[in-house]
Structure 1
């Protein structure tokens, strides 16, 4: 259910008063802490990726027929793959949190970025298509 203009204005005034009174609470409610955690996790995964690359190259350099150094290369490759997956997933969380905090008209949902009204990306695209088709005829 949509809010009337007066209700929206009152809500904005209440949000502004709360932000002025307790900015730490506002930051906690916006989820900036989780964005910071995901950003830090992505950065650490980037460092781990380069550490895995060093292990891979060192294992290949030292591999002169012994299996121990080949295992070092395989370990480096596995570290690189795991770090890349963690970095990509964390960076997606950073991007979705930034998108949600930049757009106050969007509602955050714990399960994903889809608003609770059920209108997703494809629904919006179909609606736009229908409007264009109706206007053209």
Structure 2
């Protein structure tokens, strides 16, 4: 559920206050930790995938079907982890540059729409 305009403004005010009060702490919270965590998760998943290939091949050579099945399951699980970690990083949760803020003109349109919606809701509640 997206934040309302009022909640977004409050959040922006809190962010500005945090930057003004302690810029070093605020910059540490910007997402570099999440980016590092996501990258580490993808690297571990790739390493696990390679281990899964080794188990699969070892099971085939030793003719142990159960070992090959375990290797395949390890590969499958690590592939899922790598893809979800990659998508999280690619979708901007702590990765890459921050998107540019929306132009002020659009914010005014959204403010007007929010005000109209509030008036309609108030008129409906008053009836």
TM-score normalised over the length of structure 2: 0.58
| C-alpha distance after superposition, 1:29-84 (max 9, x if no partner) | x2221121111111100000000000000100111xxxxx1100000000000000
1:105 to 78, 101, 110: 101
2:24 paired residue number: 23
- Cα deviation, residue 23, structure 1: 2.7
1:111 paired residue number: none
Query: Following the alignment from structure 1 to structure 2, what is the Cα–Cα distance between the partners of residues 40 and 77?
Result: 22
Residue 105 of structure 1 aligns to a residue whose secondary structure is coil
Residue 101 of structure 2 aligns to a residue whose secondary structure is coil
Query: Following the alignment from structure 1 to structure 2, what is the Cα–Cα distance between the partners of residues 53 and 95?
Result: 26
TM-score normalised over the length of structure 1: 0.54
1:81 and 2:76 correspond = yes
Structural mapping, 1:1-137, within 5 Å: 18=19, 22-28=23-29, 30-63=30-63, 69-96=64-91, 97=93, 98-99=95-96, 101-105=97-101
* Greater relative contact order (CA < 8 Å, ≥ 6 in sequence): 2
Aligned residues: 88
Query: Following the alignment from structure 1 to structure 2, what is the Cα–Cα distance between the partners of residues 32 and 93?
Result: 13
Residue 102 of structure 1 aligns to a residue whose secondary structure is coil
- Cα deviation, residue 93, structure 1: 0.9
Gaps of 5+ in 1: 2-10, 64-68, 107-116, 118-137
